[in-house]
Chain A
Amino acid sequence: GAGVSQSPRYKVTKRGQDVALRCDPISGHVSLYWYRQALGQGPEFLTYFNYEAQQDKSGLPNDRFSAERPEGSISTLTIQRTEQRDSAMYRCASSRSFRTSGGASTDTQYFGPGTRLTVL
């Protein structure tokens, strides 16, 4: 597609329910990132995929959060047993190139519109 897409755009759920947030990156983009953004704050890194491999999940807050990208394209972020503190904007970003394990990336990330999650 022309840009990164995310669905749903808005999700309201009750405490204790599981939610699945979907990200469809720019076609051909190898790298995919998930972020969480609280109101008035910058995006906070959650996890990173290189193709289908989850290379870094150090930002996931706890084991209720998981992510997958089974075919190296679409990714799903799942939050189990949601809590009110999980309410935030969840953003996905993708970038073009293959990332190596050494050195820092210089890729430009392109962000999706985000999913606004509200846990009641």
Chain B
Amino acid sequence: AQKITQTQPGMFVQEKEAVTLDCTYDTSDQSYGLFWYKQPSSGEMIFLIYQGSYDEQNATEGRYSLNFQKARKSANLVISASQLGDSAMYFCAVSGTYKYIFGTGTRLKVLA
């Protein structure tokens, strides 16, 4: 079975600063994917970034990067140069054979 833990229910960051959102996971699968999604107040789920378990390099997508530490089973999301529009709920997820297991989320507030 898979499990995702997001220990930060809420985070604040100053505009233009970088912020790290924590995610640890547990899975018995050898091959798996790690995903981050953003959910703004409008409620949509927006895909941000993906990391495969066999990828040796950390994934990057624009201002988003995934700090993947396989031995520690962590997949932290780093947002650089935060913008006001980054204020949202962020969910980490791990893929299993059929299921995707999501964490409870971190609510990020960017301060002007």
Interface residues of B in 79-103 (CB under 8 A from A): 91, 93, 95-103
Q: Is the CB of A45 within 8 A of B101?
A: yes
Number of A-B contacts (CB under 8 A): 76
A91-B97 in contact given A42-B103, A43-B91, A44-B102 (Cβ < 8 Å):
no
Residue B17 CB within 8 A of the other chain: no
The distance in angstroms between the C-alpha atoms of A6 and B24, with both chains bound, is 31
Q: In the complex, A108 Cα to B48 Cα: how many Å?
A: 10
List of B residues within 8 angstroms of A43 by Cβ: 45, 91, 100, 102
Bound CA span A56–B101, Å: 14
Give the contact-size bracket for chain A. 20 to 34
Q: How far is the CA of A114 from the CA of B37 in the complex (A)?
A: 15
Q: Which residues of B contact A (CB under 8 A)?
A: 4, 27, 29-33, 35, 37, 43-45, 47, 50, 52-53, 91, 93, 95-105
Residues of A within 8 A of B (CB): 33, 40-45, 48, 55-56, 58-59, 89, 91, 93, 99, 101-111, 113-114
